[in-house]
Amino acid sequence: MSHQVLGVEEVNTAAEALRIAEFAKFKPAYYLEEINEIQINGSSWRMLASVDIENSEEDHFLAVMDKWTLSAETIIPPVERTVVDDLTKRQEPSHNGADLGLVNSHIRRTLIPKRKGKDCWLEEDVVVSKLDSSTYIQFIPRVTNSSDIPFYYPQVATYGFGYIRTDDNCTACTLVILVRELAIGSAVATKKQRSVWQDLVKKLYKWTVTERFGYQKHSEHDVIIDYEQYTAKYHQLKAKYAQRWVEGWTEQTDPKKFVYEDIAIASWLLCLWEQDTDAQDNNQPTFVDLGCGNGFLVYLLTSEGYTGYGIDQCARKIWTQYDCQVDLRAQTLEPFNFVTDADWVIGNHADELAPWVPIIAAKSTSPSAKFVVIPCCPHDLSGKKMPLKASAGQSKYHIYVKYICDLSEQCGFLTEREYLRIPSTKNVAILGRARTLGDHRDSIAKLCESGESGFVARIPDSVKNKLSMEKAKQRAHKPALSAD
């Protein structure tokens, strides 16, 4: 069965315009340098930030709080996941923390960090309280000593968010961030801590506004590969390879982007291949990476025990740094003539080769060849840039994704799509792992024919640079025109 999940490719532009207009009204007040102490129900709190918001109801605020409670990782990035241990109604909190009114609910949860070997788990009480027309939610760490609070958690005895009505007609209210510090200034001692609170109040405002207008999810992660399986693999590869290659990167490109992005893609592919292998006969798949660029993805897959090779128009400096068993080939491909026996054809931001990936996989001599393509810049089968026009509520990128999916289906693949967790906005993976019934040889032949008739290979960057330098030399030696 195909997992044709891409998220919403078209949006309600009218609602989106209203939402963006509300975002423009965001005018927070910060109290990070001076202490703004307030009394609530007889208890002292330090207010770190506040922002007025219009026409948003308590239910909108509580919907945001529910999401943040059940998924702490949305506001505390070092947390991998949240486990709710106990959910009771009208139960008093069993740990320290001032009561902000009548307790409506009390949840106990555990925060599980990403770095399990270094950072400790943390239990919390989450208490929702009502006081007059206002609603508060407190997050109280269950620790014996303040030294037990992990680095990723605010350095506070408790922190909270409030929804405070400011008029009788319920058309205006104020959102606030409150803390009870371990020591004076402990919550805002560093620049990073201060920026966290600034980001939080902005996120609180935007999420509450979004709840009012209705949230339309634009992407769907973890459809094909389980999130926990992927993150475990990612952290394993990151610990194994990241530091060495970030520090030893010899390319002009940003190592933090390319190293971490390729580690993320390799993690996802390895999980995918392990999943497929479990269902078959333990034979590890082979691969070819078309337009492999710096070759780091090929290096990772090879280092993890898979056999394959990468092809690009020209070699990179970094290629010489890889182990000798990493097979990287500098050659210009004619995709309409290229045939491989690899089980998997990969196209990761492969530019003009991207639309050819499903065709090459369909022509593979491997009887069960599959493909994955992560498209970037839009090229058609001629190798030329595609002039895409997006209508309201669409993006050019998603139009291009649909174009490649259409090619995949013409080749007889059941097409799967998923957003990857990589540091790139061009993050849709298109897969072909299974075939539809019927003979698609004529369709594949026509695609090859149409591409071959007008295909123009991209000029390698090294050649472009050489031509550019030669032209510069010619201009420098050209005699100046006489003034006469």
What integer pLDDT is reported at residue 481 of this predicted model?
54
Q: What pLDDT, on a 0 to 100 scale, did the predictor assign at position 97? A: 41
Residue 151 has pLDDT above 50, yes or no: yes
Give the residue, 421 or 14, on which the prediction is more confident.
421
pLDDT confidence band for 51 (50 / 70 / 90): very high
Torsion sign, CA atoms 52, 54, 59, 61: negative
Q: Is the pLDDT of residue 6 over 50?
A: no
CA–CA distance, 461 with 459 (Å, rounded to integer) = 6
- Mean pLDDT, residues 164-174 taken together: 80
Nearest CA to 51 among 272, 260, 235, 199? 199
The pLDDT score that the predictor gives to residue 213 is 85
Q: What is the pLDDT of residue 167?
A: 75
First CA to last CA distance, the chain? 79
Interval 332-383: pLDDT, tens: 889 999 999 999 999 999 999 999 999 999 999 888 899 999 999 999 999 8
Mean pLDDT across the chain, nearest whole number? Answer: 87
* Of 369, 373, 372, 363, the residue nearest 443 (C-alpha): 363
pLDDT in tens, 289-302: 999 999 999 999 99
Instruction: Identify the residue with better confidence: 395 or 175.
Output: 175
Helix pair 441-454, 396-410: axis angle to 10 deg: 130
- Give the pLDDT confidence score for residue 99 in this predicted structure: 56
Q: What are the pLDDT digits (tens) for 120-129? A: 999 999 999 9
State the DSSP string of 394-429.
--HHHHHHHHHHHHHHHTTEEEEEEE--SSSS--EE
pLDDT of residue 447: 92
Helix (H) or strand (E) holding 461: helix 461-477
Reported confidence tier of residue 303, pLDDT bands at 50, 70, 90: very high
pLDDT digits (tens, 9 = 90+) for 67-117: 999 999 999 989 988 999 765 544 444 444 445 656 778 889 999 998 877
What pLDDT sits at residue 367?
A: 83
CA angle 463, 467, 470 (to 5 degrees): 140
**pLDDT confidence bin for 456, thresholds 50/70/90:** confident
The confidence band for 472, taking pLDDT boundaries of 50, 70 and 90, is confident
| Paired strand residues for 106 | 88, 127
Q: What digits encode the pLDDT tens for the residues 11-22?
A: 567 777 888 889
Considering the entire predicted model, what is its pTM?
A: 0.73
* Statement: residue 278 has pLDDT above 70: no
Residue 31 — pLDDT band, cuts 50, 70, 90?
very high
More confident residue, 423 or 173: 173
Q: What mean pLDDT comes out for the span 186-200?
A: 94
Q: List, for residues 228-265, the tens digit of each pLDDT value.
A: 899 899 999 999 999 999 999 999 999 999 999 999 99
Spatial distance between the Cα atoms of 252 and 249, rounded to a whole number of angstroms: 8
Share of the chain above pLDDT 70, in %: 87
